[in-house]
């Protein structure tokens, strides 16, 4: 990849988020290139898992999936299995789903409710509680007493934010709110704790996870890929990009929404605001509802794509029935749009190893891709 601008230069080029729309620079970063092998190289993929995902905050599941004490969900991405459990006091704890005796999986399934507050290993009967602490060990006196006394499954950091549970596999990464930085401040405006996770779907794509992130972080494919679904609504050519490393975002004018607001209106009330919470979670927000999705690496050429639709309280002047119909329509439109993108993305997998492609070119309208790959490169360079 060509030498990117320095962090200070990027910061200087990134406009403030306040002021009139015309005062914000549209494209803050210059064109760049990236080696196509960075998408297909197994060694680079392993470095990304270790250096990027193992040190980031990762959005794991809707908090509503574990609404009540005793509810649990198993996170099964990145070759990990982690139990997320609602505690009796309402807090959330997470721990590795591995019996500390001989490495068996403790909790089978995707989610459920544990009435007893106890999980029993199916292999030798070790019993753990909702916190992951060992409560009973058969033949306990036959083990080294110093090793068995305080045995528990290793904990995983967990925080609730914006209607979801987030996990972090590193003890060195700062708390979630600090990690999200400006993106968290932007998202706070929406009051996501009042939104419901009403829709969801997931699928596996034949593409590297970074291809999928790239696909959703620029707008100028809209008139080509989304002629029937978005091109008459989304004013893609007027999108304005912001870089707040390691994250990024953009504002996109929308017919019927932006033109109803004055030029100095808050961008979150007048535009689609589109955020990348690094490395793999995207929010596409309207003032009262949003679609959000996460791209999970499932191999150098496979990605697990998980999407949710979130709906805020019914706005004044609209009946609950009309609000439901409107959100059903919006979710169907999102699925149609995502399907158009996914058809292109799956096609990438058929030519990923082509000898005819040595590098990819990013233009100024693809500045968020430049920033994203710059951050990936920075984090993985030591192991390259």
Report the candidate in 315, 308, 52 with the shortest Cα–Cα distance to residue 163.
Answer: 308
Domain holding 377: CATH number?
A: 3.90.380.10
Tell me: pLDDT of 1 over 80. no
Shared domain for 97 and 211, answered yes or no, is no
Same-domain status, 95 and 186:
no
> 302: which strand partners?
299
Give yes or no: residues 318 and 371 share one domain. Answer: yes
**354 within a domain of the structure (yes/no):** yes
Order of strands across the sheet that contains 118-120: 118-120, 127-129, 134-136
**Which among 182, 189, 259 has a CA at the least distance from the CA of 15?**
182
Residue 120 — very low, low, confident or very high, per pLDDT cuts 50/70/90? very high
What is the rounded distance in angstroms from the CA atom of residue 236 to the CA atom of residue 234? 5
What's the pLDDT at 233? 84
In a domain, 174, yes or no: no
Give the span between the Cα atoms of 77 and 166, in whole angstroms.
13
pLDDT above 60 (res 40): yes
The pLDDT of residue 54 is above 50? yes
Residue 251 is inside which H or E element, if any? strand 247-253
Q: CA angle, corner 83, sides to 77 and 85, nearest 5?
A: 135
* Residue 192 and residue 145 share a domain: no
Residue 170 has pLDDT above 50, yes or no: yes
User: Is position 143 within any domain?
Assistant: yes
Using CB atoms within 10 A of its CB, is residue 85 exposed (0-12), middle (13-18) or buried (19+)?
Answer: buried
CATH of the domain at 71: 2.102.10.10
Residues 287 and 337 in one domain: yes
Could you tell me if 164 and 186 lie in one domain? no
Task: Give the rounded percent of residues in the chain with a pLDDT score beyond 70.
Answer: 93
Give 265-287 pLDDT, tens digit per residue. 999 999 999 999 999 999 999 99
Mark whether 91 and 225 lie in a shared domain. Answer: no
Residue 315 forms part of a structural domain? yes
Same domain flag for 22 and 118: no
* Number of C-beta neighbours around residue 246 at 10 A: 21
Mean pLDDT of 35-42: 96
Q: How many other C-beta atoms are found inside a 10 Å radius of the C-beta of residue 382?
A: 8
Mean pLDDT of the chain: 92
Per-residue confidence band for 45, with pLDDT thresholds at 50, 70 and 90? very high
Same domain? 204 vs 318: yes
The last residue of one of the domains, among 168, 196, 229, is 168
Given 135, 168, 201, the domain boundary residue is 168
Return d(Cα 152, Cα 155) in angstroms, integer.
8
Residue with the larger pLDDT of the pair 24 and 272? 272
Is residue 229 included in any domain, yes or no? yes
pLDDT-derived band at 15 (thresholds 50, 70, 90) equals: very low
Number of domains in the chain: 2
Residues 165-181: what's their mean pLDDT? 98
Token pair, residue 359, equals 């590098």
CA 336 → CA 228, 229, 324, 345, distances in Å?
10, 7, 18, 14
pTM over 0.75? The answer is: yes
Which comes out higher in pLDDT, residue 236 or 293? 293
**Segments forming the whole domain that contains residue 374:** 7-42+181-383
Position 70 in a domain:
yes
17 — pLDDT class (breaks 50, 70, 90)? very low
Is position 191 within any domain? yes
**315 and 212 in a common domain:** yes
Residue 23 confidence class, pLDDT cut points 50, 70, 90 = low
**Residues 224 and 340: beta-carbon distance below 8 Å:** no
Does residue 161 sit in the same domain as residue 217? no
How far is Cα 232 from Cα 146, in angstroms, rounded to an integer? 68
Q: What pLDDT, in 10s, does the model give residues 211-232?
A: 999 999 999 999 999 988 887 7
* Number of C-beta neighbours around residue 377 at 10 A: 16
In this prediction, residue 6 carries a pLDDT of: 40
Three-state DSSP at 206 gives: coil
Same domain, yes or no: 210 and 77: no
Q: Is residue 176 part of a domain?
A: no
Q: Mean per-residue pLDDT for 33-41?
A: 96
Q: How far is CA 18 from CA 15, 194, 209, 239, in A?
A: 9, 25, 33, 15
pLDDT at position 240, please?
96
The predicted model gives 354-358 an average pLDDT of 91
pLDDT band at 16 (very low <50, low <70, confident <90, very high): very low
């Amino acid at each position: 990849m060509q030498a990117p601008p320095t962090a200070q230069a990027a910061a200087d080029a990134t406009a403030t988020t306040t002021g009139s729309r015309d005062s914000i620079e549209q494209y803050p970063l210059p064109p760049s290139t990236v080696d196509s092998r960075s998408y297909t190289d197994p060694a680079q993929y392993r470095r990304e898992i270790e250096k990027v995902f193992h040190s980031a905050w990762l959005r794991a599941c809707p908090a509503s999936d574990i609404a009540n004490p005793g509810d649990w969900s198993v996170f099964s991405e990145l070759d990990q299995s982690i139990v997320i459990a609602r505690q009796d006091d309402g807090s959330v704890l997470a721990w590795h789903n591995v019996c500390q005796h001989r490495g068996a999986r403790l909790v089978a399934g995707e989610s459920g409710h544990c009435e007893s507050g106890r999980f029993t290993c199916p292999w030798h009967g070790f019993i753990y509680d909702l916190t992951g602490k060992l409560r009973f060990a058969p033949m306990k006196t036959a083990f080294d007493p110093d090793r068995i006394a305080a045995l528990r499954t290793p904990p995983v950091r967990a925080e609730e934010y914006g209607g979801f549970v987030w996990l972090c596999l590193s003890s060195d990464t700062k708390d979630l709110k600090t990690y999200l930085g400006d993106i968290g401040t932007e998202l706070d405006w929406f009051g996501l704790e009042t939104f419901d996770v009403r829709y969801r779907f997931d699928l596996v794509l034949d593409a590297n996870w970074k291809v999928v992130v790239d696909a959703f972080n620029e707008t100028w494919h809209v008139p080509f890929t989304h002629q029937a679904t978005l091109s008459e609504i989304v004013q893609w050519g007027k999108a304005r990009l912001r870089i707040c490393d390691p994250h990024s975002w953009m504002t996109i004018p929308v017919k019927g929404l932006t033109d109803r607001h004055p030029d100095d209106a808050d961008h979150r009330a007048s535009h689609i605001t589109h955020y990348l919470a690094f490395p793999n979670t995207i929010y596409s927000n309207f003032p009262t509802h949003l679609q959000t999705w996460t791209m999970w690496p499932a191999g150098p050429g496979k990605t697990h794509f998980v999407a949710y639709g979130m709906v805020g309280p019914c706005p004044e002047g609209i009946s609950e029935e009309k609000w439901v119909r409107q959100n059903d329509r919006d979710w169907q439109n999102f699925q149609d749009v995502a399907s158009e993108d996914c058809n292109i993305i799956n096609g990438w997998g058929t030519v990923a190893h082509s000898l005819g492609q040595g590098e990819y070119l990013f233009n100024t309208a693809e500045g968020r891709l430049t920033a994203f790959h710059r951050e990936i490169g920075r984090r993985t360079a030591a192991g390259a």
